[in-house]
Structure 1
Amino acid sequence: MTDQPIPVIIDCDTGVDDALALLFAVRHPGLDLRAVTCVAGNTDVDGVVRNTLTVLEIAGAGHVPVARGAERPLIEPARSARHVHGADGMGDLPGLPTPTRAPADVDAVTLLHREILACPRPVTLIPTAPLTNIALLLRTHPDVVRNIERIVFMGGAVATGNATAVAEFNVWHDPEAAAVLLTAGVPITMYGLDVFQRVVVPGPDVRRLRASADPAARLAGDLLAHRPATPDADGDDPGGGIGDAGAVCTVVDPAGITTLPLPVEVSLAPGPTRGQTVVDRRPRPGESEIHDGLRPRHLVDVALDVDVNRFVKLYLDTVEGTAQKPSR
């Protein structure tokens, strides 16, 4: 039991909902955001760096080191999600300031290695992006595992994908990197689309954030409004999904999700299943394992359900500055 904030590092591709996650991580008193690393995904990596620096400055966290990472997946070319996140990755919101500082003078893998090992307590790593930086870190510096408490990643899906019928974008963007993550040898929580898409801030709350005098809360409202998730009864007051921020909420309040430890593999073969997270929910091995021999099964705490109201309240309380540090 400790009252100390949880040391966290976010690896992101900022991105509308990555920005929502950063705002939450900076604001919550129970988190100690020690670094942010950037990877190509929602937009190109240089745009991700720019967006990340901008969000941190608006949130009053200009001291947090930021590093540029991989500009493409391990094998395939980069494929952005600008059709979702806008040409600039931040919903093309007008009036966003240009960052006043440059990123760190080291690459993302070097910064991750340095910050993880320098932390006096084990770090919780929160990737909300394609997992290229994380795979490179684990293969280049496997010694980091000794000071990683847990990896909570936004990615994958038990049921339906979004990049394809079965594959979620972050895993689909770099399936080989996701496969490396799943053999990291540390506890892993998968916050996938099954819960990601359900946590929606109601329209009236979005409007209140957008009218706030606090620049960080106002930015959260504008970002939520960019990605309307559900209309109200009249259809004119849409709510906005917090997306990646739910993975950070999970670190603060793990009881807000329901998980099961399940074997997870990533489909790497070309074709319609590439990038699928194959989550084995069977109670016992099947004929394939019986006849072909049991392979090592990497268990992941897979999020299957989420307390939506609990996470919405947690997010709003945090970005509006009323959240209390949890007792653990």
Structure 2
Amino acid sequence: MTTVEPTAHAHPDASPAHPVPVIIDCDTGIDDALALLFAVRHPGIDLRAVTCVAGNTDVDQVVRNTLTVLDQAGAPELPVARGAERPLIEPARPAAHVHGRDGMGDIGLSAPTDRMPVDVDAVTLLRREILGSPRPVTLVPIAPLTNIALLLRTYPEVTRNIERIVFMGGAVEIGNATPVAEFNVWHDPEAAAILLSAGVPITMYGLDVFRRVVVPWADVQRLSASAEPGARLAGRLLAHRDPAATGDPTPTGSLGDAGAVCAVADPAGLTTSLLPVEVSLTPGPTRGQTVVDRRPRPGESEIHHGTREKPLVDVALDVGVERYVKLYLGTVEKR
């Protein structure tokens, strides 16, 4: 068993002089939209493509939401592709109770204008953009990992031009889809297991940090009142759960998936530890759990049955909350 004490990321920060080529794979609900707004506007990120997968809502609605968000963000023309409409084994299980019927909080967003998805599927687009990039790509899946698993199994050669995979998924401690499983991994556990075996550096931005990066309500209100469409959309999405209805005495807006993209732009804001991680694939209450081994030494199981190799993953254990909130607001309000 191999463990490393928690440290900040070793790979360099994104900067305008050397923007990081990024591809986002998403199931555009509320926080995926926040992530796209940030990725489009941060000067250190070169967003090359967006691929869509079923998750928060059905895949066709995900495509529509993605195109609408790119419109609102003032994004340049970007290839957007439709991907898997269900997990590898399980049926699709959308999260309308969190993201609304349309996946975007039912806030009444208009349809996309002239943007259209490309005429190839997500896996084909991923292969084309990764292998065609002059610099190694950072892949940022913030959704169930079905598209990524299909890519890795169909075109394993793409790994030679992937710098790192930063995925939003998993949890060291408490889940949300179940007591121990986070939604993206729970939605397609087999796909998550395939991703972990990709053989490239991987950062797991899980619920342990995901839940902590929240925008103060005063900032949410300011964004919501902005005359600039992208900033206003960010505010409306952050505010989609009415504090009066929730009864929360200190209402805040969670950045959610957007924190994973902040970690690409500013990796030093994230504290990680290189740890063995595996996904529970057995039926029952632990299915979809990311089992993160934080023990300092092998236990009785390894002593009696031998050590089994597990993928080593940079697991996010701590995050600079104020740092990422400031980074997000400063980027989205730049227009």
Would you say same fold, with TM above 0.5? yes
Partner of 2:254: 241
The alpha carbon displacement at 1:293 in A equals 1.4
Alpha-carbon distance between aligned partners in 2 of 1:264 and 1:178, rounded to the nearest angstrom: 11
Query: Is residue 2:276 matched to residue 1:263?
Result: yes
Spell out the pairing of 1:166-177 with structure 2 (5 A cutoff): 166-177=180-191
Alpha-carbon distance between aligned partners in 1 of 2:155 and 2:87, rounded to the nearest angstrom: 18
The alpha carbon displacement at 1:229 in A equals 8.4
The alpha carbon displacement at 1:55 in A equals 0.3
Partner of 1:16: 30
> Unaligned 5+ residue runs, structure 1?
323-328
Alpha-carbon distance between aligned partners in 1 of 2:58 and 2:315, rounded to the nearest angstrom: 29
For the Cα contact (< 8 Å) 2:64–2:111, is it kept in 1? no
The alpha carbon displacement at 1:90 in A equals 0.4
Alpha-carbon distance between aligned partners in 2 of 1:225 and 1:189, rounded to the nearest angstrom: 29
Report the AA paired with residue 89 of structure 1: G
* Structure 2 residue corresponding to 1:124, chosen from 135, 138, 145: 138
Partner of 2:4: none
Alpha-carbon distance between aligned partners in 1 of 2:264 and 2:311, rounded to the nearest angstrom: 21
For the Cα contact (< 8 Å) 2:37–2:332, is it kept in 1? yes
Secondary structure of residue in 2 paired with 1:281: coil
Partner of 1:325: none
For the Cα contact (< 8 Å) 1:40–1:70, is it kept in 2? yes
Report the AA paired with residue 168 of structure 1: E
Report the AA paired with residue 30 of structure 1: G
The alpha carbon displacement at 1:227 in A equals 4.3
For the Cα contact (< 8 Å) 2:58–2:94, is it kept in 1? yes
Query: Is residue 2:323 matched to residue 1:313?
Result: no
Q: 1:85 to 1:99 in 2, by over 3 A?
A: farther
Alpha-carbon distance between aligned partners in 2 of 1:196 and 1:236, rounded to the nearest angstrom: 21
Alpha-carbon distance between aligned partners in 1 of 2:308 and 2:248, rounded to the nearest angstrom: 50
> Unaligned 5+ residue runs, structure 2?
1-11
Query: Is residue 2:47 matched to residue 1:39?
Result: no
* Structure 1 residue corresponding to 2:216, chosen from 193, 202, 207: 202
For the Cα contact (< 8 Å) 1:156–1:168, is it kept in 2? yes
Query: Is residue 2:107 matched to residue 1:93?
Result: yes
Alpha-carbon distance between aligned partners in 2 of 1:86 and 1:77, rounded to the nearest angstrom: 19
For the Cα contact (< 8 Å) 1:168–1:193, is it kept in 2? yes
Alpha-carbon distance between aligned partners in 1 of 2:113 and 2:192, rounded to the nearest angstrom: 31
The alpha carbon displacement at 1:228 in A equals 6.5
Alpha-carbon distance between aligned partners in 2 of 1:43 and 1:291, rounded to the nearest angstrom: 45
The alpha carbon displacement at 1:237 in A equals 6.8
Residues 42-92 of structure 1: per-residue CA shift (max 9 Å, x gap) = 000000000000001111115011000000000010000011000000000
Residues 167-218 of structure 1: per-residue CA shift (max 9 Å, x gap) = 0000000000000000000000000000000000000000000010110000
Secondary structure of residue in 1 paired with 2:151: helix
Q: 1:307 to 1:227 in 2, by over 3 A?
A: farther
Larger deviation: 111-120 or 2-11? 2-11
Report the AA paired with residue 176 of structure 2: N
* Structure 1 residue corresponding to 2:313, chosen from 294, 297, 300: 300
Secondary structure of residue in 2 paired with 1:151: strand
Alpha-carbon distance between aligned partners in 2 of 1:230 and 1:63, rounded to the nearest angstrom: 39
Secondary structure of residue in 2 paired with 1:226: coil
Query: Is residue 2:199 matched to residue 1:185?
Result: yes
Partner of 1:158: 172
Q: 1:237 to 1:279 in 2, by over 3 A?
A: closer
The alpha carbon displacement at 1:297 in A equals 2.2
Secondary structure of residue in 2 paired with 1:262: strand
The alpha carbon displacement at 1:96 in A equals 2.6
Secondary structure of residue in 1 paired with 2:117: coil
Alpha-carbon distance between aligned partners in 2 of 1:276 and 1:203, rounded to the nearest angstrom: 32
Alpha-carbon distance between aligned partners in 2 of 1:7 and 1:96, rounded to the nearest angstrom: 29
The alpha carbon displacement at 1:101 in A equals 2.4
Spell out the pairing of 1:68-83 with structure 2 (5 A cutoff): 68-83=82-97
Query: Is residue 2:285 matched to residue 1:272?
Result: yes
The alpha carbon displacement at 1:98 in A equals 3.3
The alpha carbon displacement at 1:126 in A equals 0.2
After TM superposition, the score normalised by the length of structure 1 is 0.95
Spell out the pairing of 1:272-291 with structure 2 (5 A cutoff): 272-291=285-304
Alpha-carbon distance between aligned partners in 1 of 2:48 and 2:100, rounded to the nearest angstrom: 28
Residues 96-123 of structure 1: per-residue CA shift (max 9 Å, x gap) = 3334222000000000000000000000
The alpha carbon displacement at 1:236 in A equals 6.5
Report the AA paired with residue 287 of structure 1: E
Alpha-carbon distance between aligned partners in 1 of 2:82 and 2:288, rounded to the nearest angstrom: 24
Q: 1:209 to 1:257 in 2, by over 3 A?
A: same
Secondary structure of residue in 1 paired with 2:21: strand
Larger deviation: 39-48 or 58-67? 58-67
